[in-house]
Amino acid sequence: MAIISDDAGQFDVFVHGLCWIHAERNIQKVHCFTQEQTALLEGKLAEFWKLYKELKLYKDNATPFMKEELNNRFDQIFTEKTGFLSLDQTLEKIGKNKQELLLVLDRLDVPLHNNTSERDIREYVKKRKISGSTRSNNGQKCRDTFTSLKKTCRKLGIGFWEYLDDRINMTRKIPLLSDMVALTRKINSNS
């Protein structure tokens, strides 16, 4: 199992990869004071996203030659000195995470970013902030369970209220969500 994260330590379990979108945010945080620095930053961002696009292509058509080329391009982008100290330090820091950022070269099933996962929890985080969280462990478990059910129904194209009604009234017109998720995974892996 591979976990893709923003480099938060608690997620460094199993096989660990890093999110390219989070890595890019570090480059975006570099402050430019001259037009030359801005041009250097924009040039590195263009190289960064070009490499990202090539990694996406590699996932669909992996070859040993492409793997070597992408490894070399990564080194070139993240070790080449620009003369802009803040940018060079940021690129060097990102470059130290080469193994985690290039995990896709060995594991084609690994996504390049974790934004899909973040979108899945965004609704939960908003509600928690607005409501001030829950008052008990049971309340937290209930909220988490219903949020998960709602998200799963949405992804499967099932109305959440119809699903709840089906389960409460025990009509069983809607299959078990676990069966539908397994079927969806099977279909996606065969295509």
For residue 149, give both structure tokens. Answer: 């059910």
pLDDT in tens, 55-99: 888 888 888 898 999 999 999 999 999 999 999 999 999 898 888
pTM of the predicted structure, to 2 decimals: 0.57
Is the sign of the CA dihedral 31, 48, 116, 100 positive or negative? negative
pLDDT tens for residues 133-183?
666 778 778 777 787 888 888 888 888 889 999 989 999 898 888 888 888
Q: What is the pLDDT of residues 94-120, one digit of tens each?
A: 898 888 888 877 776 676 565 554 455
Work out the burial of residue 104: count CB atoms within 10 Å of its CB; fewer than 13 is exposed, 13-18 middle, 19 or more buried: buried
